[in-house]
Structure 1
Amino acid sequence: MASPCLRLGLLRRSDRGPSQAGGAHHGPHATDPTLATAIRTVVVLAGARGMVLLVGSHRTLGEVGARSLVSLVLSGLATWASWLCYYRALQDGPASVVVPVDKLSVLVTVVFSVVVLHERVSRRYLAGLGLLVTGTLAMLG
């Protein structure tokens, strides 16, 4: 039986829903990952552009330094690759497995921030991270 969020269609993975007697595929798992990433990118770009114009950030574009620009471009490339992998994973596996694994990216981010950026984390923070990882693994097992 599908989880409530899957039944609501937020991340539905089933190939045949109750209204799909013909077996038509719907949702991100039925769309080519490259096309899905392009569509999602257009929506994100429109929203980001709208927000930049709304708050007036476009006036500070010339103040973006070369180092920041390189960092932002690399971050964008990582996001693009992540989205491609995410949609491909949704094609190959159930959302109930793909989504929790995707959320483990929090762990990767924390490790990166500690090792590369030398950020400090408290024991309480680490305990919370441990709970997050344990909960995710429990969902998969």
Structure 2
Amino acid sequence: MASNAWFYWALASAFFAALTAIFAKLGLQGIDSDFATFIRTLVIIAALAAFLSYTGKWQRVGGFSGRNWAFLILSGLATGASWLAYFKALQMGEASKVAPVDKFSIVLVALMAVVFLKERPGAQEWLGIAMIAGGVLVLALKR
């Protein structure tokens, strides 16, 4: 069970990402997408602070290495840029089109994992990745 726990967390992530698209599309009506991203970020900060307090998972940041800090900061900047772009796309397009195109990140993660993390997906994984890329292409060509 423990070896498959990641799968259930990934399914939960997909479910909440789907809710994110729907709630964001509804919430963006009549407001600036960049400001909406700011509000979303404040909500996440408050929710995570409450979660960390409840679970007792606060940590001393003094023990973080320079590498920890560098990659957490880069990850935060990439997340912010992703959210800004995603909310702008949702504001301008249909959620049923924007969300699947956003998932092209799956293809990019696979390619970057090969280059930067030295991961080696097997044939089945590459087939799935190619199918996702093809699906995104089909959605992008349908205008």
The answer to whether TM tops 0.5 is yes
Kept in 2: contact 1:29–1:90 (CA 8 A): no
Gap regions ≥5 residues in structure 1 = 1-8, 14-25
CA distance in 2, matches of 1:103, 1:81: 15
Report the Cα offset of residue 61 of structure 1. 2.9
* TM-score normalised to structure 1 length: 0.73
Kept in 2: contact 1:104–1:136 (CA 8 A): yes
Q: Superposed, which structure 2 residues align to 1:38-117 within 5 Å?
A: 38-117=38-117
What secondary structure sits across from 2:117 in the alignment?
A: coil
Report the Cα offset of residue 78 of structure 1. 0.8
CA offsets 1:75-120 (integer angstroms, 9 cap, x no match) = 1011111111111122222223221111111111111111112111
Match of 1:10 among 17, 22, 25: 22
Percent identity for Structure 1 against Structure 2: 36
Gap regions ≥5 residues in structure 2 = 1-20
Task: Report how many aligned residue pairs link the two structures.
Answer: 121
CA distance in 1, matches of 2:122, 2:102: 24
* TM-score normalised to structure 2 length: 0.72
Structure number having the greater helix percentage: 2
| Runs of 4+ in structure 1 over 6 Å off | none
Letter in 2 for 1:70: A
Kept in 1: contact 2:22–2:95 (CA 8 A): no
Larger Rg: 1
Mean alpha-carbon deviation: is it higher for 56-65 or for 97-106?
56-65
CA RMSD, 1 decimal: 2.3
